[in-house]
Structure 1
């Protein structure tokens, strides 16, 4: 009896939903045939208002049977109205061409922009204003990055209180700290996905940098309590534009950059930005050369669904530089800062490539689903002498070091966000799942810890320095797979406009599979316990 009643109810509900699933969609253009962005479209009888996207598209779904007046309006353009009827699960198409309104253009309009306190940020995942989040959030926008001519991420982070550069190991990478905790690869993100910290991110590709200080474990799982850094790259636009720039500076710095964007059709847009950088250093014999490119495509399938495809590639070759070192671990040697203590052949070669897809779909005006999927490959080959720790008289036995590794990241997460009320209490809900797989391959070499030669920091002519490159024989290759998975729910409970409570819970799982070691010289394999 219960099953029969339930089946009847489902059939009636399905029939009711099908009856009201009419759709009105359309395109809006300006008089020159280009898509009109941000036009307000209203169904007069239902008091429903939406804003068309960058491609000039709009869509109303879930409409009842009937005849409706559709109004399109935007400041500076003539307001137009059309009547359309829909019935029996029908989809109707309505197009507008809006021309300039001389009366409107004669008026002076004063518009305001929302501050970062009221703008939704990627780092929060949910549609919550930063002012309503308990963590402290800092945002450095593109204008600041450009005006300050930021070369490295550390130049941007200087704008954030409480986050600081802790180390730059031979100028090969940057390590940040906040509240006493290290921002390792677990705490560094690009477009919401974890990113390797073994290279210098390209600043000219960024739209903004978001820094969330404090615990973020509910949203991101295995992260240190200090906070996270999320870099948001530039995205395609449906209006054409571009920029070509050239930066030059001291020590032979030259850096040309390009950034072009625009529509490929009414529903597809592109963006390509890239740069080449070459520079020497105040240190003799130190140089750097890097190349970066970041293409992206945006597909607007309709007013509710979009797909963003992004990729980038970075190749950076440079000379590792450990500075001028120390004497007896206590004194800084009195030598010219231009003196290079390394060899004339040491090198660091880093390559990083990523591919990402972001799918967004609005289920209705209040509920949205977002899926992020990305793959990242990082490779590094480093060879040279290590940290400079000399005796009190300046003698330093230069130790050799070689690093060669490869990291492959597969990352995915799906979020559902929505707003609803339970009586007079408002809720902003976030529910999601995420999964990561890291596969790290690393080599060890027979030269580890061996002495290359001896150099006196205070008197370089005291010893004859070697110039040959020692042969480094790989001894082992280790493969380390790590799997992570998590599910989380977070709710911003609005008891009033001034009193709000943020509550959340997360379940996480991390599995470290058995490390496999290949002994290359012996041609054998060893496998540890997971």
Structure 2
């Protein structure tokens, strides 16, 4: 095994090293005509100055300082310039700077502004608080929003705080075209919440661009922002952690160079209580070693008669700047959860008598299970990054991630019975764990060949994922009892721990689900500036899957090991109609999905079914649109149209299956398409007023599939039409400075959770949710009250099932900042 591992590494590293050698050599002789500025701005008290505008005078190049006061301005022609440092209400500061060819110019500027004055400026500025961030992780390159030919949106911590949200699951509602279709169930492998994105099921499996698997709801205490990258992204991210619709990346908070933080106490409806803290401090006088700890304890009951969730999150982050070239980062993600599973109602018959959730006799406010049918889930993920400046043009980034998720407990669920007058209650016991490890080495270059600027990332990636989950059933099966949903139900309270344990004590059957896969990948992506306004992206990935054999001690046999190799390309064009303001873009992107196990395939030569490992599915997207970033960032938006075609889907071979013997044959010729358009917008039309809005339409259909679903919208595609909106206004002057109000909502059209000729059609009705908030932001304190689901709307999510969602909730919070 070890020799095979080394062979695979050398197989991918050899061509990559040759490519990098060529690029380094070319760079040495290339003409260097541009340079960059890497600066930091502090207040008069020496603390980091965030949200300060820095502009290169006489050009349209500008930047906004980050939380740690840092800013970067790249691709500047050599020469003498002046930086304009501006804050609303203060005199603009001019700072001379000299740009040298092929060099990075360090700048450190101290303002004559105190921390308190700076906070007042941030409150009153016309800065667009919700503007999509320029992300170095989306393309694994430092591209601006306008330079990237791929569509992505981000939800930052300011928006999450304004809306009184405490989890990534809740924050996803601010992204156009993204809808939750499955609540977190706290189990290994698929326990986190699931969403639909461009018609495909997607989970939040990435953290800072590498694997960050979870089994629970993700607490927002350590979120800097959420990034939703749209479209199949096989070229840069492979297949294991993404879907054809895109990916969700959790970007976390980083340490900064001063003592600071915040403590927040919250409480509200359904016995909600929460205590969170964000503490940051340098560990040495030189401020080279920095520590930041984000932690939270969260407890809540349920809008139903039973149900609870108690969660503890602990996320430390450490950075150490060894020297001007080398910086080390270490992070951890520790989470412990004790909770009940949400009430999930499955639709397995066409004879219920109704076709929508709002017509069911199931009581929306009943959980139909006891509080003691709970489980525990633990997440322990650890991350590291070595960032090393190889030269003026090249950076090495070495990432690793290792984690273990574990869950155990009861898994109750329900079937809707024929006639719409009762449900059948089921239960199993879940016990399992997963382990993951990822190593990723990236080399990032910014150089010129002749007069053409290149920004290139080349890397290798090794990912290992192991799952060991066991479902335990009673010898009587999963069916516990049947309970009436009409009138009195004398056995309603029987579904409890004591009765379930007795049910299992009569005998048990264990069903193991195990897997062990290795992914070896090499990739490269280059962005070429053909002119100052025209850019082309070319990307390619080679991906090798090695699925290990899994021994079965009960039979003395092992599952079949298999391998698959895939190539995934990506192309993109960006033309900036107005430099740094308006761009037209187009892309072609590929995604793929590997098989998980051998399946029966008809063999004509022997006229029998034989186990066969099918090839990977393939998804290809064409997309085009326009991006805008106008009026110094006060108006940012994207309009795009996409068309995704999926081929080589494995489907049932009816002609060679034997239903009477429960033998199913498969063939690989299925197809699906998903197309639509999206609009997203953020704006700050006047000081203090911030807006975010989005709309999405998706048309998805299985057009070569099993007869029962052929020509129908997939159940995982979610609603065809969605919209989101949020507006907030903060008083920017006078005695009420810092006082603000927010209002917004979400719309989703009806969604087919069952769309099958055999079991019929069943849908979750359309819904409109309204939310509101009031807040008062002071230099040392912040007070807020938020109301979610203002109209107390009943609504459901799910696919193949129905899950009632939370009713009206009122939450009050107070924060102390230091």
Equivalent residue runs for 1:149-160 within 5 Å = 149-160=164-175
Match of 1:432 among 434, 437, 459: 459
3-state SS of paired residue (2:401): strand
**2:557 aligned residue (514, 526, 530):** 526
Task: Kindly provide the CA deviation profile for residues 375-405 of structure 1, in whole angstroms up to 9, marking residues without a partner as x.
Answer: 1111122314323312316233322222222
Partner of 1:273: 294
The answer to whether 1:515 aligns with 2:518 is no
Summarize deviations over 1:192-244 as a string: whole Å, max 9, x none: 11232431111121001111101211111113221111101111111110111
Corresponding position of 1:176: 195
| Alignment TM-score, normalising by the size of structure 2 | 0.50
Contact 1:127–1:417 (Cα < 8 Å) also in 2: no
Equivalence map 1:279-294=2 (5 Å): 279-294=300-315
1:176 Cα offset (Å): 0.9
Task: Give the structure 2 partner of residue 495 of structure 1.
Answer: 530
Q: State the distance in 1 between where 2:537 and 2:271 align.
A: 52
Partner Cα distance (1:30, 1:230) in 2: 30
Q: Does 1:454 align with 2:482?
A: yes
Partner residue, 1:417: 444
From 160, 166, 170, the counterpart of 1:145? 160
Contact 1:247 1:254 in 2 (8 A): yes
Measured in 2, the distance between the counterparts of 1:178 and 1:395 equals 34
SS in 1 for 2:165: coil
Q: Can you give the 5+ residue segments of structure 2 that lack an aligned partner in the other structure?
A: 1-24, 26-39, 51-65, 71-83, 96-107, 562-818
Partners of 1:120 and 1:399 in 2: CA distance? 45
Query: Within 5 A, what are the aligned runs for 1:107-506?
Result: 119-168=134-183, 173-184=192-203, 188-222=205-239, 223-265=242-284, 266-322=287-343, 328-331=351-354, 332-334=359-361, 336-392=363-419, 394-447=421-474, 449-463=477-491, 465=494, 467=496, 468-470=499-501, 471=504, 473=508, 475=510, 477-506=512-541
| Distance in structure 1 (CA, Å) of the matches to 2:346 and 2:255 | 46
Q: Look up the match of 1:88.
A: none
**Is the partner of 1:204 in helix, strand or coil?**
helix
Whole-angstrom distance in 2 between the partners of 1:201 and 1:31: 34
- The change in CA–CA distance for 1:218 and 1:349 in structure 2 (over 3 A counts) is same
Q: CA deviation at 1:355?
A: 0.7
1:244 touches 1:257 (CA, 8 Å); kept in 2?
A: yes
Q: Check whether the contact 1:386–1:399 (CA below 8 A) recurs between aligned residues.
A: yes
Judging changes above 3 Å, is the alpha-carbon distance between structure 1 residues 34 and 264 closer, same or farther for their aligned structure 2 residues?
A: farther
Q: Distance between the aligned counterparts of 2:163 and 2:45, measured in 1?
A: 38
Deviation at 1:313, TM superposition (A): 0.8
Give CA-to-partner distance per residue, 1:286-306, whole Å, 9 cap, x none.
Answer: 111111111111101112211
Aligned pairs, number: 459
C-alpha distance in structure 2 between counterparts of 1:305 and 1:426, whole Å: 25
- Once residues 29 and 498 of structure 1 are traced to their aligned partners in structure 2, the CA distance between those partners, rounded to angstroms, is 30
The alignment partner of 1:123 has SS state of coil
Structure 1 residues 36 and 213 mapped into 2: Cα distance closer, same or farther (>3 Å)?
Answer: closer
| Distance in 1, Cα, partners of 2:543 & 2:41 | 48
Say whether the 8 Å CA contact 2:256–2:280 is kept in structure 1. yes
Contact 2:459/2:523, CA 8 A, preserved across alignment: yes
Runs of 5+ in structure 1 lacking a partner? 1-12, 14-27, 39-52, 58-72, 81-95
CA distance in 2, matches of 1:37, 1:364: 28
Aligned-partner Cα distance in 2 for 1:129–1:259: 29
For 1:481 and 1:227, locate their aligned partners in 2 and report how far apart those are by CA, in whole Å.
Answer: 24
* Equivalent-residue separation in structure 2 for 1:246 and 1:31 (angstroms): 29
Q: Contact 2:214/2:405 (CA < 8 Å) preserved in 1? A: no
Kept in 2, the 8 Å contact 1:168–1:174? The answer is yes
> What is the distance in 2 between the residues matched to 1:481 and 1:466?
36
Distance apart, 1:142 and its partner CA: 1.1
Q: For 1:144 and 1:252, how far apart are their aligned partners in 2?
A: 24
Give the TM-score taking structure 1 as reference length. Answer: 0.76
1:241-282, Cα deviation, whole Å (9 max, x unpaired) = 011101111010001111100111121010111111111111
Change (3 A) 1:228 1:384: closer
1:343/1:385 contact within 8 Å kept? no
RMSD (CA atoms): 4.1
Q: Structure 1 pair 474/190, CA: closer, same or farther in 2 (3 Å)?
A: farther
Q: Classify 1:525/1:293 alpha carbon distance in 2 versus 1 (closer, same or farther; 3 Å).
A: farther
Distance 1:33 1:300, change over 3 A: farther
Give secondary structure in 1 for the equivalent of 2:166. Answer: coil
Change (3 A) 1:477 1:367: same
Higher RCO, 1 vs 2 (CA within 8 Å, ≥6 residues apart): 2
- SS of residue paired to 1:143: helix
Asked if structure 2 preserves the Cα contact closer than 8 Å seen for 1:515 and 1:529, the reply is: yes
Structure 2 Cα separation of the partners of residues 466 and 54 of structure 1:
51
| Whole-angstrom distance in 2 between the partners of 1:174 and 1:98 | 45
When structure 1 is superposed on structure 2, of 337-346 and 248-257 the one drifting more is 337-346
Q: 1:344 to 1:373 in 2, by over 3 A?
A: closer
- CA deviation profile, 1:7-66 (whole Å, cap 9, x unmatched): xxxxxx9xxxxxxxxxxxxxx99999968899xxxxxxxxxxxxxx99999xxxxxxxxx
Structure 2 distance, partners of 1:206, 1:370, is: 22
- Is the deviation greater in 159-168 or in 333-342? 333-342
TM-aligned CA distance change 1:99 to 1:212, over 3 Å: closer
Instruction: Report if the CA contact (8 A) 2:68-2:256 is conserved.
Output: no
